[in-house]
Each structure stands twice: as C-alpha cells, then as structure tokens.
Chains A and B, each alone.
Chain A
Amino acid sequence: MMDAAMDEAGLQALLAGRRIEAVVIGASAGGVEALGALLPALPAGWRLPVFCILHLPGDRESRLAELFAGRLRLPVREAADKEGVNPGTVYFAGAGYHLSVERDFTFSLSCEPPVHFARPAIDVLMESSADAYGSGLVGILLTGANHDGAAGMATIHASGGLTVVQDPDDAQVATMPKSALDRFSPDLILPLARIRALLPMLESDLS
C-alpha cells in the first residue's frame, strides 16, 4: 500500500504498464463538494469514460448531470439504460435505479432493492464495472456516511484494477473510506488534492 506521502515518480511507477480503460468514482455525504473539486481536473480531450455515483436522499430526481455539465470540459450525461459507453464522457447514475455496466459496455438499470439503503448503490456499479473492465478499471472512493462502496472497491482490487481511497482524515465524512480500508488494502490512500493531481495521469500511460 502506498501512503499519502508518495511522490509523483512513485505514482508514475505504479501506473507504468497499466492499460486503464475506465474510471468509476463513488461518494456519499460531502460528495457534491468532493466531486466538484475533483472532476474539473479532467482535461479537455480526455478519452476515458468516467462513471460517477453519488448518493442523494430518497428517490429524488437527480440533477447531478446538469449541475456538472456546465463545470467540466467534457460531455456529462446521466447514464441511460442500454446506452453504449462512450469514451471521454462523464456519466452520472440517475436517482431511484441501480446502474450497472454490462460486459458489452452498455449501461443497464435495475429496480432491485436498495443496497446499504442506497439505490443507486456504489457496490452495484463498481462490481459490474469490474466484471466488464477487469484490470483496466480504476475505482475511487470518496467521502460518505455509509458502508456502500467497500465491497465494490474490494472487487475492483481483486480483479486487478487500481483502487484509490480518499484519506479518511481528509474526507468530510470518514465512514465510507474507513469502511473500505477495514475491508482491504487499496493501492493508494490519498487526500482529495492528490487524487485530483492523479486523475490526468491515469490516461497519460495510454499509448
């Protein structure tokens, strides 16, 4: 496990030889601010798909895609059922349905019961994404007051993907990153600012 003190050369070494195909980010309480700090680091011309899932209270209609669309240099959309995953696009999970990524790189929605009281659940999106992308997936788990995401991150880890957990001391609410750390040892535990710096590097290795 690499700690927060890891320098850029260390990160480069960790990323060397990885063929990253997609990034999935989960957050709960405090997540709007965290994603607001993180996502603008995605440069114009970025080519990977990014899947974001953020818990919101109840089944309230989500306006996250609209909220972020104006703030990013990439297309931002709510993931639609049966839609193919496009490169260079930031997708948000809509409210009230679980979101999965299928083996044929299309999205699917489902109304199965909530997981950890959450629908959409981070675990569902992360586990299905790990099945689809295997070691080509990067999972990032941020602030939150819930235990969702720990199982999903552990699955990404077991599938050979790169896992990044926000440093609980840096998170607005530490429960969610802590719950993941209780379950497995991720590749990186970083404060938000370092995750922000890491994002553009995820793609630089693609040649």
Chain B
Amino acid sequence: MDADPGANLKHVPSDIDIELRMLVEAVYLKYNYDFRDYTGASQKRRVLAAMRAMECDTVSALQARVMHEPSGFAQLLQFLTIPVTEMFRDPEYYLALRQHVVPFLKTYPSLKIWVAGCSTGEEVYSLAILLQEEGLLERSLIYATDINPESLDAARRGVMPLERMRLYTENYQKAGGTRAFSDYYTAAYGGALFERSLVENVTFADHSLATDSVFAETHFISCRNVMIYFNRRLQNRVLGLFHESLVHRGFLGLGSKESIDFSSYAQRFEPLAKRERIFRKVGA
C-alpha cells in the first residue's frame, strides 16, 4: 500500500477552522462542556447551522454571543448535541438483544443498565419496553445519561410526536415486540405519552462522556450513534469508561455502523452479535 495520499497535503487552517477551535475552547473554559474532541466535519456543519439560526455573520460573532449571554450558550448547545433518534431504531439490534443478551441478563438477581448519550429518551423507552416484556424491568435499574439538559427533560417527560408512532410501531414489531405497541402510550400533551411505569426505575442524569468518570458498575451498556461524533482519542476514553463500568463479561451495544476496530480496546471486547454490534467484555 502506498503512503497516505494526504500525507503531503499540508493544511493551512482557514479562518473558519481557527474560529471553530476558538469557539469550542471558549465553551470548554467558560461552561465546562468539552466538544474539543468531536469530529470536525459534522461539528462544523452544526455550528454553521447555529450561526444561521442565531443570526450571526461569523463564528467569532457567535462566540461573542455565547461568551456574554448564557442563553446564547443554551441555544448553541442544542446544535452542538445531536438529538436525532427514533424508537427501536435498527429493530434487528433489539431482536439480537432479546436473543443473545437477555438470556444472560436473566441469570442476575438485579441489573444495572446504562444508556449513555440517551438524548430525548427514545432508546430508553424502547429498552424499558423490551425489558418489561422479558420480565426484567422490575429488577433493573437504568441510568440514562446525556449532557444536554433540554434533551434529558424531554426524556423524563416521555412524550413523543404522534406522527412518529406509525414508524415506531413498525420498528417495534420488527424488533420482536410481543404486544400491541399502542398499549404503551396514551395520547396526551399533544403527543404520545409513554407509560410512567416504564421509567420508574430510570435515573435520568447529566453525565459527560468527555469529562466525567464511571459512576456505577453495570451489566449492559447501550451507547448507539454517540461515539461516531467523537474522534479516536475520545472514543478510546469512552470505551475505557465502559470497560471499567461493565461487570466481568458484561455487554456493550453500539450503533449499526459503529466499530471498535480502530480503537485501542479492539482486543478487550469480543463480538457477540457482530452485525448488530453487540459486544461482550473479554474475560481477564
């Protein structure tokens, strides 16, 4: 194989690159939110979108807003984080959980599960439904964490847009659902309000994968389509947290295009369901 074709392409940072770096540095120093190890291309797109929405002509102007108006930061945060998700996204993932992970989880008298980067809660409610149908919800304690307080509030409320229910019902059925999906919600507050009992044992909490440490020992961690926004250094940090948090032979579920192959933890997890991206911590 030839040398990297980009090896001799020298980048002179453009003005906008410089401004982007200064913005995330300022956000870190002032608000202690660390976006410095997020991948550049999608972060740039999101900052440009924030710039347009907040009517700033340059990233520097946006930075000034964020520095001097805390409400400006709250607004920017909604762009820097990525609250795009759906219930039972990739139904085959949930099907594989039922088939390959649930039988092991049933052997534990009590369970701790961590949904890392839970966003607006779609995955939390999906997992809670699955656990309930498998008879595991009552013995489970679920930690649902995110850095975005608005997303966490939405997750606590559990009101999903009604127009999404058709897709979610379809996903639920493909995911091996055993009941009528509509049993789990009622129309309320202009949306679909999910059954409160599903989240009785869920702790929604502010936690940063970039700066915080492990807070509990867990049996299963689901972290889907979160690490794709991180560079390799931050991915390694996060996989380190997961490795530390998981019990001996604990389970890790990732998004359908995520991989640990390029991380320094590649050898410390083994695939359990390769296509569905479910891994198991390798024994000592």
Stretch of A7-15, A130-138, A185-193, A194-202 with 4 or more beta carbons under 8 angstroms from chain B: A130-138
Instruction: Digitize B28-45: 1 where CB-to-A-CB distance is under 8 Å, 0 elsewhere.
Output: 000000000001111011
User: Is the Cβ of B5 less than 8 Å from the Cβ of A110?
Assistant: no
User: Is the Cβ of A100 less than 8 Å from the Cβ of B5?
Assistant: no
Question: Which A residues between 6 and 61 are near B, CB-CB below 8 angstroms?
Answer: 21-22, 47-49
Q: List residues of chain B with CB within 8 A of the CB of A182.
A: none
Question: Which A residues between 47 and 102 are near B, CB-CB below 8 angstroms?
Answer: 47-49, 80-88, 94, 96-98, 100-102
User: Is the Cβ of A112 less than 8 Å from the Cβ of B262?
Assistant: no
Q: How far is the CB of A205 from chain B (nearest CB, A)?
A: 15
Whether a CB of chain B sits under 8 angstroms from the CB of A103 is yes
User: Is the Cβ of A105 less than 8 Å from the Cβ of B1?
Assistant: no
The residue that B5 contacts in the complex, of A82, A87, A113, A124, with Cβ under 8 A, is A87
User: Is the Cβ of A112 less than 8 Å from the Cβ of B84?
Assistant: yes
User: Is the Cβ of A47 less than 8 Å from the Cβ of B5?
Assistant: yes
User: Is the Cβ of B45 less than 8 Å from the Cβ of A85?
Assistant: no
User: Is the Cβ of B6 less than 8 Å from the Cβ of A111?
Assistant: no
User: Is the Cβ of A110 less than 8 Å from the Cβ of B42?
Assistant: yes
User: Is the Cβ of A94 less than 8 Å from the Cβ of B257?
Assistant: yes
Say what secondary structure dominates the interface of chain B: loop
By size class, the interface of chain A is 35 or more
Question: Which A residues between 119 and 149 are near B, CB-CB below 8 angstroms?
Answer: 124, 127-128, 131-134, 136
Q: How far is the CB of B92 from chain A (nearest CB, A)?
A: 10
User: Is the Cβ of A112 less than 8 Å from the Cβ of B46?
Assistant: yes
Whether a CB of chain A sits under 8 angstroms from the CB of B9 is yes
Instruction: Digitize B85-110: 1 where CB-to-A-CB distance is under 8 Å, 0 elsewhere.
Output: 10000000000000000000000000
Stretch of B55-63, B193-201, B227-235 with 4 or more beta carbons under 8 angstroms from chain A: B227-235
Determine the distance from Cα of A113 to Cα of B256 in the docked complex, in whole angstroms. 17
Determine the distance from Cα of A128 to Cα of B45 in the docked complex, in whole angstroms. 9
Question: Which B residues between 237 and 284 are near A, CB-CB below 8 angstroms?
Answer: 255-259, 261-262
Closest to A94 in B: B257
Q: List residues of chain B with CB within 8 A of the CB of A100.
A: 39, 41-42
Q: List residues of chain B with CB within 8 A of the CB of A86.
A: 1
Known: A47-B2, A80-B259, A82-B262. A113 touches B84 (CB 8 A): yes
Known: A86-B1, A87-B2. A98 touches B259 (CB 8 A): no
> Which among A85, A97, A124 has the highest number of chain B CB atoms within 10 Å?
A97
Instruction: Digitize B1-29: 1 where CB-to-A-CB distance is under 8 Å, 0 elsewhere.
Output: 11011100101000001000000000000
Determine the distance from Cα of A97 to Cα of B46 in the docked complex, in whole angstroms. 15
User: Is the Cβ of A82 less than 8 Å from the Cβ of B42?
Assistant: no
- A81-B259, A110-B228, A111-B84 given; name 15 further pairs at CB < 8 Å: A21-B6, A47-B2, A81-B257, A85-B5, A87-B1, A87-B2, A103-B11, A103-B17, A108-B42, A109-B228, A112-B82, A112-B84, A124-B41, A127-B41, A133-B9
B residues with CB within 8 A of A: 1-2, 4-6, 9, 11, 17, 39-42, 44-46, 82, 84-85, 225, 228-229, 232, 235, 255-259, 261-262
Give 3 nearest A-B pairs by CB, closest first: A100-B41, A105-B6, A128-B41
A residues with CB within 8 A of B: 21-22, 47-49, 80-88, 94, 96-98, 100-105, 108-113, 124, 127-128, 131-134, 136
Can you spell out 21 A-B residue pairs with CB atoms less than 8 angstroms apart? A21-B5, A22-B5, A47-B2, A80-B259, A82-B235, A86-B1, A97-B228, A100-B41, A101-B41, A105-B4, A105-B6, A108-B39, A108-B41, A109-B257, A110-B42, A110-B229, A111-B228, A112-B42, A112-B45, A113-B84, A127-B41
